[in-house]
Structure formats: structure tokens, C-alpha cells
Amino acid sequence: MYDYPNALAVIRATQPDESITLLRPDAAKRAARFFIENFSGKSIYAVKANPSPDLIQILWESGITHYDVASIGEVRLIRNLLPDAVLCFMHPVKSESAIAEAYHQHGVRTFSLDTHDELAKIARATHNAADLDLCVRIQVSSEHAELSLAAKFGADADEVADLLVATRQLADGLGICFHVGSQAMSPNAYSDAMERVREAIIASSVTVDIVDVGGGFPSVYPGMSPPDLRQYFNVIHDAFEDLPISYSAELWCEPGRALCAEYASLIVKVEKRRGHELFINDGAYGSLFDAAHIGWRFPVAYLGDDNTIESHDGFSFYGPTCDDMDHMAGPFMLPADIGSGDYIEIGMLGAYGCAMRTGFNGFGETLRYTVSDAPMASVYSRQENDNVISFEAFSKS
């Protein structure tokens, strides 16, 4: 089933000049099981985080049956891969043709919206269908998140009541949804957002059938060590139980990063060293967009046969393209004597890293191998073993 036991075995066997993506199916299976067993509602995978067909199939076989699709392309992808999956079109702004195709051709019955205009589009495109689950997205704070998602979508507080009342007229099932931002580092993000849900329900006096708390569930990265995910689930469950909602109302969540971050890592080769800058063969236009553009740090490890312990320094990376913006500031902690020809594994790239790769400047293709070892970091193993992972002490081994 696995191509190699670990990254070092890949290097020994292939000595690659291209970057290599390593896939860990067991990590994705474990993440899916964790949500299914611990979240007291429905877990809907946010496809945008990683639309890999292999990953989608793994999640399906692990019990994830619902998928958050954000474009007609994602609708087509999941419907072709999984004919029996339930698709939820949760982008609040869609073309009328996308809504129509999703509804009439692909069986999509769940849509989100945050304006009266979008509600009207859904009504027209579905011919005023009577079997719709419609989720009104409300604006909530992203103050507890590492990456804000508060600016682009969500109905303002003074608009929500009228929009809920209007949506209730068309919806078979009425929902309220929100997104607290990516990599929410405190369960308070959800308790605060659920208070906004409470206020919206009271202001509108409508019966709500679905409460969708969105994504934002964190993974673990250097400098970001979140609480146990079960603390998040408990806060959400308690707040849901206290809402003035239908006795049969459903609780949903939309994990993306938390389900796939540990699924993939990257092997890169150092092509040049200049001081504390390493020129590597992947970068901002490949798998390292987040490292370049929002300063995300990822766990790194030197891959080599030298078992001696060396001191570590902080390095930045330059990617392979001709663009100065192809730069990852880091710092990434690596052996002080690392140099040209050495290999590095960069972990936790299953979320967004795999999804945002481009072909700019002729770069972008990577080889792919499955490995059987554990991911370089894990929010799940940490919770199971109650140990804290250190990222700053990877030895040259």
C-alpha cells in the first residue's frame, strides 16, 4: 500500500531533483474518525482545503459523507467521484447558472447566502423549489483566528433579521452559518459566534433548523499550539443546546484544514545557500503560498544520513521562480551547516499547500509517494498522548 516507510527512504531511493509530495493516508483516516466520533453533529469536508481525488476517497471511506463545495467545479468534481455524497454549496456568492446546474443536474439542495440578491438568484435558478436547505451566513469576529475571514462574507447585524425572515419563506430547512476565521486558536471563537446566532434568532423570531459553525478548527504548527479539539466541540455543543431553535435542529461543522493538514508533506532540495537564505526547488507558486504570503511557519526537518547533533539556525527560503516575491521568511530552524544538495522535509502541507500549486515559470509538477510514518506534527496524536510537540529541536538525523 505504501511506496516508502518515510521521507529519508524516498531520498535514498530516488535522489530527486524535483520536489516530492509525500502522502499519509492514515493521517487523513485518523482525522476523519476523530471528527465523526467526537463532534456531536454532522462533519462536512471543505473541499477547497484539498480537492485531491485520493484524499476525497479516503475521507468518504472513513465516514465523511457530506462535502462543502464552493464552486461549480467542486460540485462536478465531487459528484463525479462520489455519486452518493451530499453536496452543500456554501459559497455565499454564486452565479445563477452555477446554482441552476448544481440543483437541476447534480442534486444539490443546500445553499448558503448573505444577501437578498443571492436569495433571489437561488429562487430563480431553482424555480422556487420547495426542497431547499438555505443557510444565511452572518458576519462574526475573527479575533481568535490566525487568518481573518471576517471582511468578505456575512450579513451585518442590522440586515440579518430581515434576511432570515425572507429566507424562511423559501426554505424547507432554514440554517444560520458563520466562519470564525482560519486556525482559530481558542474555543471562545465559537462561543462568541454562537452568541451572534442567538441574537439573530431572537431578532427575527424564525424557526431555525440548522446551525452550521463552519470551519476554523486548528492544526498544530510551529508557534501555534491550540487546545484540545474536544474543548472546541464541547463549547459548540453547549452553546447549541442553549439556542432557541427547533427541537429537531441539526448541528453542522465544515472542517477543512483539520481534516487534511497532516495528510501531506513536501521534500525539497537546497540548490544554493546564501548566508541564512536557502534557495529551494518549491515555493510561493507551489506548495508554500501560505509561508510566503501570510508568514505561515511549517515544521521542517533535515533529511540525511549524518546522525551527529549540530546546532540549529533560523533560515528563510527562496523558491525556484524568477520572482522576488517567491520568498518564505520563516524562520525555519535547520542545522547550521546545511547547504547545496541537502534535502529538507516541510510538514503539514496537506491543507491548501497541495491545492494552491501553480505552473508559473514552468515549475509546479511534483512526484507523489505514499509513506507509512506519522506526520511531522499532529494535533490528534498530541491529544491522544497528552504530550506537547517541540518544533525547534529537529536534529540532523
Class of domain 7-23+264-385: mainly beta
What single string gives the DSSP state of each residue in 191-236?
HHHHHHHHHHHHHHT----EEE--S-----BTTB-PPPHHHHHHHH
Amino acid of residue 376: M
Does the structure show a pLDDT above 80 at 310? no
Does the structure show a pLDDT above 70 at 1? no
Find the mean pLDDT for residues 331-357. 92
The torsion angles phi and psi of 271, rounded to 5 degrees, stand at -95, -25
Find the mean pLDDT for residues 256-280. 96
Find the mean pLDDT for residues 80-97. 97
Overall residue count recorded for the chain in this entry:
397
Within 8 A by CB and 6+ apart from 69, the residues are 47, 75, 77, 78, 87, 88, 89, 90, 91, 102, 108
pLDDT in tens, 115-169: 999 999 999 999 999 999 999 999 988 888 777 777 788 888 889 999 999 999 9
Least confident of 21-30, 250-259, 318-327, 374-383: 374-383
| pLDDT band at residue 338 using 50, 70 and 90 as cut-offs | very high
Does the structure show a pLDDT above 80 at 391? no
Q: Pick the catalytic residue: 88, 177, 260, 322?
A: 322
Within 8 A by CB and 6+ apart from 169, the residues are none
| pLDDT band at residue 63 using 50, 70 and 90 as cut-offs | very high
Find the mean pLDDT for residues 342-346. 97
What single string gives the DSSP state of each residue in 21-64?
EEE-HHHHHHHHHHHHHH-SSEEEEEGGG---HHHHHHHHHTT-
As a whole number of angstroms, the distance between CA 108 and CA 264 comes to 30
Amino acid of residue 126: T
Find the mean pLDDT for residues 81-96. 97
Name the pairing type of β-strands 300-303 and 182-184: unpaired
What is the H or E stretch that residue 253 is in? strand 250-253
- Which contacts of 162-165 are long-range, i.e. CB under 8 A and separated by 24 or more positions? 162/116, 162/204, 163/113, 163/114, 163/115, 163/116, 163/119, 163/136, 164/136, 164/200, 164/201, 164/204, 164/206, 164/208, 165/204, 165/206
Find the mean pLDDT for residues 174-195. 94
Question: Would you say the C-alpha torsion 9, 309, 343, 346 has a positive or negative sign?
Answer: positive
| pLDDT band at residue 48 using 50, 70 and 90 as cut-offs | very high
Q: What b/e string do you get for 122-145 counting C-beta neighbours within 10 Å, with b at 16 or more?
A: bbebbeeeeebbbbbbbbbbbebb
Residue 329: HSE in the Cβ half-sphere, 13 Å Cα cutoff: 6
As a whole number of angstroms, the distance between CA 66 and CA 85 comes to 6
As a whole number of angstroms, the distance between CA 329 and CA 350 comes to 20
Does the structure show a pLDDT above 90 at 348? yes
Exposure of 72 by Cβ count < 10 A (0-12 exposed, 13-18 middle, 19+ buried)? buried
> Which numeric CATH code is attached to 25-260?
3.20.20.10
Model pLDDT, residue 296 = 86
What's the chain's average pLDDT?
Answer: 91
Model pLDDT, residue 309 = 55
Does the structure show a pLDDT above 50 at 385? no
As a whole number of angstroms, the distance between CA 156 and CA 138 comes to 7
135 belongs to the catalytic site: no
As a whole-number percent, the residues of the chain with pLDDT over 90 amount to: 77
The reply to whether omega before 331 is within 30° of 0 (cis) is yes
As a whole-number percent, the residues of the chain with pLDDT over 70 amount to: 94
Does the structure show a pLDDT above 60 at 227? yes
| pLDDT band at residue 388 using 50, 70 and 90 as cut-offs | very low
Least confident of 195-209, 232-246, 380-394: 380-394
In 3D space, the residue among 139, 92, 133, 138 whose CA is nearest the CA of residue 113 turns out to be 92
| pLDDT band at residue 191 using 50, 70 and 90 as cut-offs | very high
In 3D space, the residue among 235, 244, 238 whose CA is nearest the CA of residue 189 turns out to be 235
Model pLDDT, residue 308 = 57
Q: Euclidean distance between the first and final Cα of the chain, in Å?
A: 26
Stated pTM of the model = 0.92
Does the structure show a pLDDT above 50 at 312? yes
Model pLDDT, residue 81 = 97
Domain residue ranges of the chain, discontinuous segments joined by +? 7-23+264-385, 25-260
| pLDDT band at residue 354 using 50, 70 and 90 as cut-offs | confident
